[in-house]
């Protein structure tokens, strides 16, 4: 093995990327861009820095295929990470400390700097082995996924540059798996960020009367709580997977009349608000949930109103749920399954991603997108304290991508008589 292929050198490149502080809300994007560009140069990949919004670079790397007419492969990852509370970590979140077990502690070690670097390492190995792609392989490193991707993947997916890339399949992030099976995702839940507001007459804190803002809001909260418990029970009973139910969590409560010492204690307020992070599966009945919100959670009859801070439709423009086929009807699915197996990995049952990723912008355009972050035997620590990834798992993940990229980049669609389309 050459020095670049030495496992400790591979791990130290990962650590370098992790040490760049790209935490929201002030990510150091240019330092990350410089690092990625230096990697691209060392791999002789073409590179382009796109700035759809100033200060927010998207890096696009290209490994040209021998048949540029075939749809290309896009390997996407985001460069930003979520904030952390450093004093609550065993090791500082941007040290990328490697402990004696081989665990690498860092914000972004799971979400998702691992994946971005694993793509690059897989390409490094494929190049060293003399592999030549037939399809063009693109890598995109996008900003702002953690805050919605509007200045990153969303603009990228809508750009002329993207159209010209003729992308046929997108690979994006997944989640760690606590068992030996890798998790793989074919769709994701849609975020609905709901704010409900109650109004009522103010009054003396000692008086019992109907229709106070607080009581009206409490009735709604109780109704939401019952719905939440019913959905959660389906998961607890093993009847539904996490991504197959509608989740709803109260994320803020805002009420009361402020005073210099806290809140006025003997005045019932005339307004009260609550915010909910709702996640709706693409297969859910969107209309019935809308009805439930309007009639049960924020009924006008109870002096309530509601707004959405965000509401992503579960349907595409044809009214169909947005999902990628996870069966033999989708050759990219079959290829991924085969490639993981070939690299001695095991896949779990395909799932719906419980939160959101940039994959939704690609799926919305009608493209197949598969969510996969190869981390088995790993606790799910994205957005948590002490996020870590074991170096042996990281290295195994590179084997997975090496196998997947090889399969994808060599794939030539065959017609029924066995002749490849390009030969016809
Ligand atoms: C919906 S925009 C925010 C995106 C974010 N993604 C990862 O955690 C999420 O909350 O799912
Ligand atoms: Zn992520
Ligand atoms: Zn995240």
Average pLDDT of the segment spanning 92-114: 98
Q: Report the nearest-CA residue for atom 3 of ligand 1.
A: 148
Q: What is the pLDDT of residue 2?
A: 79
Residue pair 105/405 in contact (Cβ under 8 Å)? The answer is no
Task: For residue range 256-273, list pLDDT tens digits in order.
Answer: 999 999 999 999 999 999
Evaluate: CB of 191 within 6 angstroms of ligand 1. Answer: yes
Ligand 1 pocket, residue 152 CB under 6 Å? no
pLDDT band at 3 (very low <50, low <70, confident <90, very high): confident
Residue 414 confidence (pLDDT): 62
The predicted complex's ipTM stands at: 0.98
Q: Is 34 annotated as a binding residue?
A: no
Determine the residue of 83, 144, 193, 355 to mutate for testing ligand 1's pocket, defined as the one with the most ligand atoms within 8 A of the Cβ atom. 355
Ligand 1 lined by 403 (C-beta under 6 Å): no
Q: Closest by alpha carbon to 400, among 347, 332, 340?
A: 340
- Asked if 193 contacts 277 with a C-beta cutoff of 8 angstroms, the reply is yes
418 confidence band (pLDDT: 50, 70, 90): very low
Alpha-carbon distance of 343 to 115, in angstroms, equals 17
| Straight-line distance from the first to the last Cα atom of the chain, in angstroms, rounded to the nearest whole number | 42
Q: Is the pLDDT of residue 288 over 80?
A: yes
Asked whether 170 and 188 are in contact (CB, 8 A), the reply is no
Contact (Cβ atoms closer than 8 angstroms) between residue 402 and residue 122: yes
- CB-CB contact of 109 with 19 (8 Å): no
What does the H/E/C string look like for 265-322?
CCEECCEEEEEEEEEECCCCCHHHHHHHHHHHHCCHHHCEEEEEEEECCCECCCCCEC
Does 285 appear as a known binding residue? no
Mean per-residue pLDDT over the chain, rounded: 96
**Which residues participate in catalysis according to the annotation?**
80, 145
CA distance readout (Å), 175 to 132, 139, 156, 338, 350:
30, 20, 23, 20, 12
Query: Which candidate, 376, 382, 31, 36, places its Cα nearest to that of 182?
Result: 376
| Full-model pTM | 0.93
């Amino acid at each position: 093995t050459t020095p670049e292929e030495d496992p400790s050198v591979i791990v130290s490149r990962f650590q370098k990327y992790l040490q760049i502080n790209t935490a929201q809300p002030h990510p150091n994007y240019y330092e990350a861009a410089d690092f990625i560009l230096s990697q691209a140069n060392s791999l002789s990949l073409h590179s382009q820095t796109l700035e759809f919004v100033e200060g927010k670079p998207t890096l696009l790397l290209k490994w040209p295929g021998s048949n540029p007419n075939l749809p290309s492969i896009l390997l996407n990852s985001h460069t930003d990470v979520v904030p952390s509370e450093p004093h609550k970590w065993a090791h500082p979140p941007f040290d990328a400390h490697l402990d004696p077990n081989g665990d690498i502690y860092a914000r972004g070690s799971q979400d998702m700097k691992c994946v971005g670097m694993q793509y690059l390492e897989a390409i490094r190995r494929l190049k060293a082995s003399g592999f030549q792609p037939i399809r063009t392989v693109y890598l995109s490193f996008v900003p702002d996924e953690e805050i919605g991707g509007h200045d990153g993947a969303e603009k990228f997916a809508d750009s002329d540059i993207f159209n010209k890339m003729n992308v046929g399949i997108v690979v994006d992030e997944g989640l760690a798996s606590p068992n030996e099976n890798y998790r793989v995702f074919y769709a994701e839940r849609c975020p609905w960020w709901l704010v409900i507001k109650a109004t009522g007459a103010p009054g003396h804190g000692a008086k019992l009367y109907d229709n106070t803002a607080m009581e009206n809001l409490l009735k709604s909260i109780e109704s939401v709580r019952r719905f939440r418990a019913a959905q959660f029970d389906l998961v607890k009973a093993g009847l539904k997977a996490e991504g197959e139910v509608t989740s709803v969590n109260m994320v803020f409560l805002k009420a009361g009349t402020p005073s210099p010492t806290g809140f006025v204690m003997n005045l019932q307020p005339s307004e009260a608000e609550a915010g909910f992070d709702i996640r709706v599966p693409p297969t859910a009945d969107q209309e019935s949930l809308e009805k439930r919100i309007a009639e049960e959670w924020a009924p006008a009859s109870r002096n309530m109103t509601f707004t959405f801070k965000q509401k992503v439709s579960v349907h595409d423009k044809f009214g169909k749920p947005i999902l990628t086929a996870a069966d033999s009807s989708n050759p990219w699915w079959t290829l991924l399954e085969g490639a993981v197996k070939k690299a001695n990995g095991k896949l779990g049952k395909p799932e719906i991603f419980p939160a959101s990723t940039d994959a939704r912008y690609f799926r919305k355009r009608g493209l197949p997108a598969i969510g996969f972050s190869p981390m088995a035997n790993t606790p799910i620590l994205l957005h948590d304290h002490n996020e870590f990834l074991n170096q042996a798992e990281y290295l195994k993940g590179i084997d997975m991508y090496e196998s997947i990229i090889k399969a994808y980049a060599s794939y030539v669609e065959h017609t029924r008589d066995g002749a490849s389309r390009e030969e016809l």
